[in-house]
Structure 1
């Protein structure tokens, strides 16, 4: 499916149905396929999964689009409004969790509860070696950025700590697919360089967001990978402590991308949370 928003065309999937509405938000250089196994494990829910312009999107954005973290969070809010989604459980991992935090503090009138899963928070922006490497490559021209990223075609490179190696134990086949639009399309490379530069220009953004999180008085589940090497587990504890109705759960045998490494367990936790 596609929807035309102020920034451009956004692709999404929607399982439909009358059940509780879950909106899943992916991270940087990822698309909606991150959530495929989780969605398949949540029958009875209406699962809506947008592919946001975070570097793995297939439709280039308009040249004037604000591709900062705040700009993309506003795009997510517009997406909820245009589809008239209400009483939403917003679920985010990696940079998607940062976007959920921004939605939480900027009103989030359509959001009834949130799930923050191993995500950028506080001063961990850019997160880990992967984020720092990406932010550095954003200083390149789109052409040179594209040349640098060509090496990601190789599995050995994708599995390095500066790539996806510390983000997922088991998700290489899925992550390889995320890179295809960027490797093939000059317009997607231009978008990606723009967003990386915009992200790098606001390194304090999540520290400012954290100061406002205690005002979010709706249920919040914080799910963290106990073996996470990119998102410090103590950040999960801090987020849960900041949120008046926050609850923290750890998941074993997973890196950051819980939807790839432990999809069944993650889906179980989300399903129980929405039922409660």
Structure 2
């Protein structure tokens, strides 16, 4: 299930395999990159506030909550994910793209902008890994540890069958201030619980993350990415501190604005304020 406000559903075949995405609106182009164990539904509140002025493309990236697995040999390491983003933009011949990355999607967006900047017009990072943040962030290291074997990865995800677990700080409790709608939560967790090929993709992705990739991207971005970089950060983020975001903004020569009364999922907690800030950046 994908929220109908995300627009028309499509599928594109890439070298790594199929990707599903939704598209709505006309105007300057925004491509959204979500984080681990969520999907395009994370943008369901934000996109309707933007689509009257912008063309919004929301992809189900292969991070454990997608519906169609990639090829068995697909590279889902951080550099492989950056290549996947670049391949997606090329397959649809998208140009002058604003790439909006949230949570670990912001880390992948940094890598994509550093290594494949040619189709991007702007990079917007929202509550995500920075050079001073671990990857996975503090409290989520068990996810990477259990990814070493299919059985341990399956076992740790079984806990998500119980809704009370969804509000734990090392699941989704520190990602959104208020409980996420149950049907949306089921869209996030059902694929990884029910499909071994989806678990394979999710396990490859989370098992290969490492802070060295974001450190390298931050060092490379000022040399290879000459377009604007902006940071939109949750003011109350408990996973990615605002102080780290400010140091990242200084390093990248980027602007930093905060979204009040929000945890990491700013599009979930404060879609109106996020839309206002993003519109201001793109209209500026």
Quick check: TM above 0.5? yes
Shift of 1:177: 2.2
2:116 maps to which residue? Answer: 107
2:189 maps to which residue? Answer: 179
Shift of 1:133: 2.2
Shift of 1:171: 4.7
| Number of positions where the alignment pairs a residue of Structure 1 with one of Structure 2 | 271
Segments of 5+ residues of structure 2 without an aligned counterpart are: 1-9
Pairs within 5 Å for 1:40-79: 40-42=48-50, 43-79=52-88
Segments of 5+ residues of structure 1 without an aligned counterpart are: none
1:249 maps to which residue? Answer: 257
**What secondary structure sits across from 1:157 in the alignment?**
helix
Shift of 1:210: 1.4
Closer/same/farther in 2, CA of residues 242 and 138 from structure 1, 3 Å limit: same
Shift of 1:211: 1.1
Closer/same/farther in 2, CA of residues 180 and 263 from structure 1, 3 Å limit: same
- 2:138 counterpart of 1:124: no
Closer/same/farther in 2, CA of residues 83 and 16 from structure 1, 3 Å limit: farther
Choose from 42, 46, 62 the match for 1:38: 46
Choose from 29, 34, 37 the match for 2:37: 29
- 2:206 counterpart of 1:196: yes
TM-score, normalisation: structure 1: 0.93
TM-score, normalisation: structure 2: 0.91
Choose from 164, 167, 189 the match for 2:172: 164
CA contact (8 A) 1:125 1:206 kept: no
Cα RMSD between the aligned structures? 1.5
